[in-house]
Amino acid sequence: MPGSLSSLGRRLLEDDYASLLPSRRPSSLGLVASSSEIGSRALNSVIAEGVNVTQALVVFDWDGTLMDSTGAITHSIQSAARDLGLMVPDRKQASWVIGLGLRDSLKYAVPDLPEDRLSAFVERYRYHYLHCEPALGAFEGVVPMLERLKSLGVPMAIATGKSRHGLNRVLEQTGWRHFFADTRTADEGHPKPHPWMLLDLLSSLGSVPSQTIMVGDTTHDLEMAASAGTRAVAVSYGAHGVDDLALAKPEAIFSDTPSLALWLESQLAA
């Protein structure tokens, strides 16, 4: 098979995803906010009851929230299934499981994958993903948002389905490491929607659930936040669609990063 990465087995996950994959449906409930709707209103809503900057914490998911990588992950899952002669999942089926643990992901996305071919599947997934990765970039507005929150002294963290090795690699590639006070990955404890990553970040950074905001693009992120007792908002430009996100009852759903940034500033500045 061309491009094989040899016998990397399950440890291939250390280079990319400790957990693999979205559903995309039409918007509903009027929860989606755009920058035009928020505009200067959010900038002027730096309210006294907002969370104190010195105690607040914003935790971001990575793929589909900060980085425009959902398509690459979905493509890589589909291509790996095709390489092994398995049933190729459609986009919705493949992308829905972004952020889940590996076994749970593959049970849903590739239900006919035999246990003894798991390592081969991961090898092919990694091969395709690493070929896509150089072309990946941040969503528009992400870097200005991170720079602004950093300038306000807001502690930020990452909770991602990526592995530690994979996250370290992309932090170096993007040059974003300095933005984040701490990070957690699925292979260090439990994958989403288990609350472990958030709870461990809270413990490490001395924050409390009521002053922590989880930002993600999947219901897995929102369910993790609910289990950890933190606040949560969603973005609709990643893996899961608005209808699915709304069912998890986030405080708000944003259709673009600038509107998210304005809202976060309104909540965190004091």
Q: Which residues are catalytic?
A: 61, 63
Neighbouring C-beta atoms of residue 108, cutoff 10 Å: 16
CA distances from 230 to 187, 192, 214 (A): 22, 14, 7
In sequence order, the β-bridge partners of residue 60 are 158, 215
Distance of alpha carbon 81 from alpha carbon 97, whole angstroms: 15
CB 158 within 8 A of CB 167: yes
The end-to-end CA distance of the chain, in Å, is 58
Q: Could you tell me the strand order of the sheet in which 231-235 lies? A: 32-33, 253-254, 231-235, 212-216, 57-60, 156-160, 182-185
Residue type at 210 in one-letter notation:
S
Neighbouring C-beta atoms of residue 1, cutoff 10 Å: 9
Q: How many residues comprise the chain?
A: 270
CB 247 within 8 A of CB 134: no
Distance of alpha carbon 251 from alpha carbon 96, whole angstroms: 21
Distance of alpha carbon 182 from alpha carbon 176, whole angstroms: 12
